[in-house]
Amino acid sequence: MIKTTIAIDGFSSTGKSTVAKRLAKALGYVYVDSGAMYRAVTLYAMRNGFIELDCFDKEGLISQLDSINISFKFNPKLGFAEVYLNEENVEALIRTLEVSQFVSQIATISEVRLLLVKQQQGFGINKGVVMDGRDIGTVVFPDAELKLFMTASAVKRAQRRYDELIKRGDEVTYEDVLNNVQSRDHIDSTRDDSPLTMADDAIEIDNSNMNLEEQFEFILKLSEEKIKSFHKKKRH
C-alpha cells in the first residue's frame, strides 16, 4: 500500500504530539516528534553553558554542533520512540519547564534548524510518517499529502501543560506556564528562519473545546479520506 506523509503543526501545547502518536499507531505509520529534537539540542546547550538566563552563546553552540547526535529508539512498552542525545535517553529530561524556557531561542538558530530539518527529511524519505512541529508543512515536507494546523486559546493550552507537569511531580506555577506558552508563541511565530505559520493548504483545527477522543476521531477521518483520495489519484 502506498504511504503518505502527514504534517501536524501548531502552537505549543495544542496536544499535537498526543494526537499524532495515536494517529501514527492507527495508520501503522512512524511518529516523529520534531520538537523533541530542538529540546535535546537545548538540553545539550544548557549542560554545556551555552545558554543561561543572562547568556546565550550562539557561536559556541554552533561550533559544537558536530558533537551532537540525536536519535530515536522505539520503546515497545510505551508504544513510541524516545529521543536520545549522544546515546543517552533524555525523553523525560527534555520535558521540564526549564528546557521549555530556552528551547524557542535555540530554535531561532539557522545552523541548528538546517541540521535538524535534514535529519527530519531523512526520516520521511519512505513516507508513512506523522511528524509534528512548527514548520513541517511549510519547510520540512511542503509536499505532505495532509497538513493540519492545531490551535487553542493560550489559557486552555497553559492549563493542559500545567496539569501535565504537576502530574509528573514538577513544581511549577500556572502563571509561569502561561508566560512560557505566550513567550514561545511569540518567538516561534516571529523568528526570521522558518517561523510558525499555517501552510496555505493546511486544515486548521481549533481544539479549545474538543476532548482528545473528539480530536483523534476527527483527524483519523480526515487522514483516511486523504489517503483514499491519494490512492485514487495514483491509480488514474
Contact residues toward ligand DC (CB under 6 A) are 12, 34-35, 38-39, 103-104, 107, 133-136, 184, 188
Cβ proximity to ligand DC: between 2 and 212 the closer is 212
State the minimum distance, in angstroms, from the CB of residue 133 to ligand DC: 2
State the minimum distance, in angstroms, from the CB of residue 86 to ligand DC: 19
State the minimum distance, in angstroms, from the CB of residue 96 to ligand DC: 12
DSSP-assigned states of every residue in 162-229: HHHHHHHT----HHHHHHHHHHHHHHHHH-SSS-----TTPEEEE-TT--HHHHHHHHHHHHHHHHHH
Written as nine digits, the cell of 74 is 522505539
Cβ proximity to ligand DC: between 39 and 223 the closer is 39
Are 8 and 136 within 8 A, CB to CB? yes
Cβ proximity to ligand DC: between 27 and 136 the closer is 136
Q: Could you count the other beta carbons within 10 Å of the beta carbon of residue 47?
A: 11
State the minimum distance, in angstroms, from the CB of residue 233 to ligand DC: 28
Cβ proximity to ligand DC: between 134 and 147 the closer is 134
Q: Classify 236 as helix, strand or coil.
A: coil
Cβ proximity to ligand DC: between 104 and 223 the closer is 104
State the minimum distance, in angstroms, from the CB of residue 213 to ligand DC: 22
- Give the C-alpha distances (Å, rounded to integers) separating 168 from 39, 89, 104, 155, 189: 18, 17, 22, 20, 28
